[in-house]
Amino acid sequence: MFDDKYKEIKSSTKGIYKEKGSKFIAYSYPVYSEEEVKEKLEEVKKLEHAARHHCYAYILNPDKSVQRANDDGEPSSTAGKPILGQILSNDLTNILIVVARYFGGVKLGVPGLIRSYKTAADEAISKAIIITKTIKEQYEVRFKYSQMNDVMRLVKEFDLEVITTDFQIECKLIFADAKSKTDNTVDAFKKNHKITIKYIKTI
């Protein structure tokens, strides 16, 4: 069964973790493109310009198809990967977490770094409001005015979200429905040969 639900954070948050004098400040942001990731990263670098490292991880798209992690000069896999791990363990997407580190004079070693970046990321996530969204597909239905009742009955029966309507002699209606349900919905419309239906996009 295809799962059409995914989770995001509602707005940006900040978390702080300190270990042996080092300070880790984590910023989480809802993001929807690599362009936005770059913008937010620059924002944090300006805010925390004195920090020695700006390590980050992000996941994009409802299917989590884009995942990146960056250690920004920390030993390999001690920063970006633990941050990414926290995003994954909370089952989130469309999120960027940047952790700025101020060195406190004492080396933390690999386990200490992993723990610190992981905990800072977790602090930021724990302050976030998490929202669940549904992957939907949009379809356009075209029909004659005389078919109006049939179309509206299907809209009601399948509880479809109507986006736009244009009811002239030739009528047009655009609806959205949860991706997991659209096969049944489209089949129902196709049974009436006087109605044409076409896929527009996934949202």
**Contact yes or no for 110/75 (Cβ under 8 A):** yes
Report the alpha-carbon angle 69-61-99, nearest 5.
30
Q: Which CATH architecture has domain 135-202?
A: 2-Layer Sandwich (3.30)
d(CA 139, CA 184): 13
Evaluate if residue 3 carries a pLDDT over 80. no
Contacts of 48 (CB under 8 A, 6+ apart): 25, 54, 100, 102
CATH 3.30.70.240 residue spans of the chain: 135-202
Evaluate if residue 1 carries a pLDDT over 50. no
Over residues 111-120, the pLDDT tens digits come to 999 999 999 9
- Looking at residue 2, its pLDDT comes to 53
Evaluate if residue 183 carries a pLDDT over 90. yes
Mean pLDDT (whole number) for 59-77? 96
Look up residue 77 and give its DSSP letter: T
- Looking at residue 107, its pLDDT comes to 94
Evaluate if residue 158 carries a pLDDT over 60. yes
- Average pLDDT along the chain: 95
- Looking at residue 61, its pLDDT comes to 92
Domain 5-132, CATH homologous superfamily name and number? Impact, N-terminal domain (3.30.230.30)
- Looking at residue 203, its pLDDT comes to 84
Evaluate if residue 198 carries a pLDDT over 50. yes
Evaluate if residue 169 carries a pLDDT over 90. no
Percent of the chain exceeding pLDDT 90 equals 94
Evaluate if residue 57 carries a pLDDT over 50. yes
- Looking at residue 4, its pLDDT comes to 86
Evaluate if residue 179 carries a pLDDT over 50. yes
Evaluate if residue 69 carries a pLDDT over 60. yes
Separation in Å, CA 63 to CA 3, 7, 8, 128, 184: 9, 10, 12, 21, 22
d(CA 175, CA 23): 50
